[in-house]
Structure 1
Amino acid sequence: MRPGLVSVNAFLLTQFRVHGATYQLPKDTTIMNHSVQVPASSTNGQQDTRRNSVNQEFLAELEQQARALEPTQEELGELFTKVEKYARGHISNVCETPAFVKSKERSVELLSSPISETGISLDDTLQLLYDYVDHEGLNSGSPRYLGYIPSGGLPHSAFGDFLAAIGGRYAGVFHSAPGAVRMENMLIRWMAEVVGYPKGAGGYLSSGGSIANLSAVITAREASGLRGADYDQAVVYMTEHAHHCVDKALRIAGMGSSIRRRVAEDDRCRMSAEALEETIAADRASGLNPWLIVASAGTTNMGTVDPLGDIASVARSNHLWFHVDGAYGAFFALCPEGQEVLSGMDQSSSLVLDPHKTLFLPFGTGALLVRDQEFLGPAHGGRGEYMRDMDSDAHELSPAYLSPELSKHFRGLRMWLPLKLLGVAPFRSALSEKIHLARYAYERLQSFEGVQVGPAPDLSIVTFRFVPEKGDVNEFNLSLTDNPAERIMKRWQDRDANEFNLALVNNLHRDGRVFLTSTRIRGTVVLRLAVGSFRTHLEHIDEALEVLSEHVRALKES
């Protein structure tokens, strides 16, 4: 046997003594043959003294080396000063730097500066960040970043993150950080009020819309009592414009075999409530189990909002779970223009919002709201004996028991701080501004030669395309003709237009002053102008349209 280890059979011995100390073994008879670490036995007292002395010296050496993790006040001062200077420089220049730098080669140099045993200076570290991270790829803080769904970068939130990291509070369980949990729960209740949910609603702050949508699927599954044998017959209803994370969530939730129905849309690419009703009736008549409706409060493709009130009526009459993906659009409920478009959202069973989109917070801030919070616990709860002390407090619902996460970032502080400092008013005004900027861009684009615009924006995304003369198509037609000859002609015309618009967006990306993205809608390539940054104002929309015109002219001449 190795020195310092004593093998004990729990059936034969319940306690033993070593060097005058008594060691009590567990009385649980299911525990067998434990090895207990004890000081090495010796008849030579001097040997023990020497060993203890060596251990103390060794511990002192380790402590000295580990002290680097505990910076002195002087070292902290240097960190604060230099990082503050770097951050100030970034914020002061963010509006002037390109919206996109297409090169992906510069950051390869990071691979030649691996993590080392001894570390490097703060100046050198910040230089690496400046050279290889902050000046390549998307500048999502730019006011001319008009692609995908613009995210936040609100400086006030950065201070919230800083304080959360410094404080080190564990925000998952009430027992651990009562104030942090109450802060998150208060924010959940505030969001529930914004969207019109009743007092019994609940939810949690997530890392983003994908995880929140996954949680919604799991909550709907458990609330409906579905089990593995039921999945093949369970039907989910959504449109072709539903975010791909919904399908991903179904697969992760073990429901990859469930049936997906892509419900017909109207001419604005919104779910048809009439078609939904008919599809549900047909599925029920054929012996299937209609289960879940997923509607959009602002699709990523076009920003369109499904007729939520009509869909809610269909869900209610058919006893289906009605989920709304409002990751992009739900926060527009803060402003009057958005409230009108989002009517009926308050009737949903569950709702996803992304504060890191239209509340302008940093990446990694999502939220799930459930109309009846009682459904969250059974879907996400779990217990461990090592959590017994934490479980004893039931003053507030803990996020750890309502969500997939046990280890949890203190996200609430990045949301709470700007809302407390600024109030809701500037957020409401900013969201109204984005809607009106999108309407302004839509009107101006209609005056451009050779431009076809999509449907008028519901929120803050405008879709359009340029059509070269040789591929002229009379309108931005989202429907398909039944005439075979017309189909062939349209396909050739669209091919020319598609190639032109793909070349146009690639040229815009190489330029980098303005960032727009493309998408396909029923096979047609269109461009998207998404207004979402809190820094984007009228001057930036005008600049974006001027850059766009410049590249269209150049492409036509080439």
Structure 2
Amino acid sequence: MHDHDQHLVNLALAVARHELTTVKPLRSPASAATIYGALAGSISAAGIGAEEAVELMRDVVGANCMNVSNPNVYAFIPSAATPASLAADVMIASMNMIGDWWLEGAGGIAAENIALAWLCREVGLGDHAGGVFVSGATPGNLSALAAARRWWRSEHREHTRDRLTIACAQQAHSSVRMVASVLDCDVLLVDGDEFGRLRAHDLAVALAAHRAQGGAPVFAISATAGTTNLGMVDDLAGLADVAEQEGLWLHADGAYGGAAVLTVTGREALAGIDRVQSMVVDPHKWLFAGYDCCALLYRDVRIARAAFTQTAEYLEAVEVSADQWNPSDYAVHLTRRARGVPFWFSLAAHGTDAYRDAVDSCLATARAFTAAVQAASHLELFAPTTLSIVTFTRPGWARDDYQRWSDQHLADGEFFIAVSEFRGHPLLRVCLVHPHTTPADLQQVIDSLV
């Protein structure tokens, strides 16, 4: 079982080569009964052998997973991963690269830190900034807000054991409320404007009312730099003012929208992002890495290290000197893969200019599509386009009409747009994170709604 098997390697590399050099067509998965039926018996006492296992991997497992890197996937937040980042994942897997401690994973950790330092500079987080790659924004938000709680309590010793509160907008990502539950904190939900954006005045009023009503002390504001539904950006600069006045930690969930900081227009939309204490941005969303890659950034990484460093007799061997780094010290994790290396590899291979151009291209395509929707007599723009999410409706349609339309075009392999809803209003949302999506592709969407 542990002997080197060149035949197995060749079979696996043939599948990888095909996947990395072709664009798989869009299609819905087979029924659950069909998939489970095809995999029935795959785990057995004697094993089925490498060839049959590879066939199942290719023809059943992989074939029933959507290729979300297809330029015509506009649902949710797709992942337009570069072939370079995916190829790096193949290399990392072959090396069985670990990324928890410098002792075991120095090369991968150094590569990750170079990419993290670049992101910190782009955001403008300052000289003590640093971070770590985690699997997604949910554990990233959890770690950031756990660090925030520890920091706040160190500043307010009289509240060491008090229950605390996180303030956020109603439209904040669902993970923020889940994180609050895990941390056993309350959530102060603040009404946003007509499109869900959190404004400084509304937050200040809500904080004052919360105090007057005897609510648990607020220790952090969780802002959003690109809401999942409408692509809106909270008033980051105004929220930073409130955070400074109130002595609160400002965290930004930029899982989707944080990538826009690489461009001039995106930087304008994210004004104030350089004043946050922590943020997340997912390379597996709009920075063209494969899945399982979220960059968690701290303005002062020393706060995170104080919060998360684990000590035990069996860990003494992995303690580091000043020029070394243990990623396990900066989030809620210990063992981890070097998940940021594919992002570093793609960034190194293509250069930062290519990344800026790709993000800028998506923003330009979103502006052009917005104009096309506004020009279409049978459609109505739902919300202003801030980044690269465009939302619109077809007057007269109910949710069931949208769903039938969405299902049909996915079944036909044309495009995938999921139906969404905002405050009870069904709508269509197109998320553009692939630089190869063209105006002609999007005109097909408009024409299909006539």
TM-score above 0.5, yes or no: yes
The structure number with the bigger radius of gyration is 1
1:147–1:516 contact (8 Å) kept in structure 2: yes
Task: State whether structure 2 residue 169 is matched by structure 1 residue 239.
Answer: yes
Closer, same or farther: CA 188–426 of 1 in aligned 2, 3 Å? same
Distance 2:282 2:180 in 1: 20
Closer, same or farther: CA 534–82 of 1 in aligned 2, 3 Å? farther
* Number of the residue aligned with 2:3: 70
Task: State whether structure 2 residue 80 is matched by structure 1 residue 152.
Answer: yes
* Number of the residue aligned with 2:207: 280
Task: State whether structure 2 residue 11 is matched by structure 1 residue 82.
Answer: yes
Letter in 1 for 2:166: V
TM-score (norm 1): 0.75
Larger relative contact order (CA 8 Å, sep ≥ 6): 2
Distance 2:35 2:441 in 1: 29
* Number of the residue aligned with 2:329: 401
* Number of the residue aligned with 2:178: 248
* Number of the residue aligned with 1:515: 416
* Correspondence 1:132-211 to 2 at 5 A: 132-211=60-139
Letter in 2 for 1:330: G
Task: State whether structure 2 residue 57 is matched by structure 1 residue 129.
Answer: yes
* Number of the residue aligned with 1:449: 377
Closer, same or farther: CA 139–100 of 1 in aligned 2, 3 Å? farther
* Correspondence 1:258-269 to 2 at 5 A: 258=186, 260-269=187-196
Q: 1:459 deviation in Å?
A: 0.7
* CA displacement, residues 239-266 of structure 1 (integer Å, 9 cap, x when unaligned): 12111011111112232xx1x2222222
* Number of the residue aligned with 1:46: none
* Number of the residue aligned with 2:343: 415
2:224–2:254 contact (8 Å) kept in structure 1: yes
1:174–1:393 contact (8 Å) kept in structure 2: no
Q: 1:504 deviation in Å?
A: 2.9
Q: 1:501 deviation in Å?
A: 2.6
SS state of the match for residue 338, structure 1? Answer: helix
Distance 1:116 1:152 in 2: 37
Q: 1:498 deviation in Å?
A: 3.4
**Percent of paired sites with the same residue:** 28
Distance 1:90 1:542 in 2: 28
Match of 1:537 among 430, 435, 438: 438
- Please identify, of 312-321 and 528-537, the stretch whose mean Cα deviation from structure 2 is larger: 528-537
Distance 1:92 1:390 in 2: 40
* CA displacement, residues 213-268 of structure 1 (integer Å, 9 cap, x when unaligned): 1101111111111868421xx3322112111011111112232xx1x222222233
Distance 1:315 1:501 in 2: 41
Distance 1:427 1:357 in 2: 13
Q: 1:543 deviation in Å?
A: 3.3
Q: 1:121 deviation in Å?
A: 4.2
SS state of the match for residue 529, structure 1? Answer: strand
1:106–1:132 contact (8 Å) kept in structure 2: no
* CA displacement, residues 11-62 of structure 1 (integer Å, 9 cap, x when unaligned): xxxxxxxxxxxxxxxxxxxxxxxxxxxxxxxxxxxxxxxxxxxxxxxxxxxx
Closer, same or farther: CA 127–176 of 1 in aligned 2, 3 Å? closer
Task: State whether structure 2 residue 283 is matched by structure 1 residue 355.
Answer: yes
2:70–2:80 contact (8 Å) kept in structure 1: no
* Number of the residue aligned with 2:197: 270
Q: What are structure 2's unaligned runs of at least 5 residues?
A: none
Match of 1:343 among 268, 271, 283: 271
TM-score (norm 2): 0.92
Q: What are structure 1's unaligned runs of at least 5 residues?
A: 1-67, 469-495, 554-558
Q: 1:387 deviation in Å?
A: 1.4
* CA displacement, residues 267-318 of structure 1 (integer Å, 9 cap, x when unaligned): 3331122111111122223333232211111000111111111111111111
Task: State whether structure 2 residue 148 is matched by structure 1 residue 220.
Answer: yes
Distance 1:144 1:529 in 2: 10
Distance 2:362 2:70 in 1: 15
SS state of the match for residue 253, structure 2? Answer: strand
Please provide the CA RMSD for this pair.
Answer: 2.1
Q: 1:396 deviation in Å?
A: 2.0
* Number of the residue aligned with 1:50: none
* Number of the residue aligned with 2:293: 365
Q: 1:361 deviation in Å?
A: 0.7
Letter in 2 for 1:268: F
- Please identify, of 283-292 and 148-157, the stretch whose mean Cα deviation from structure 2 is larger: 283-292
Distance 1:92 1:418 in 2: 16
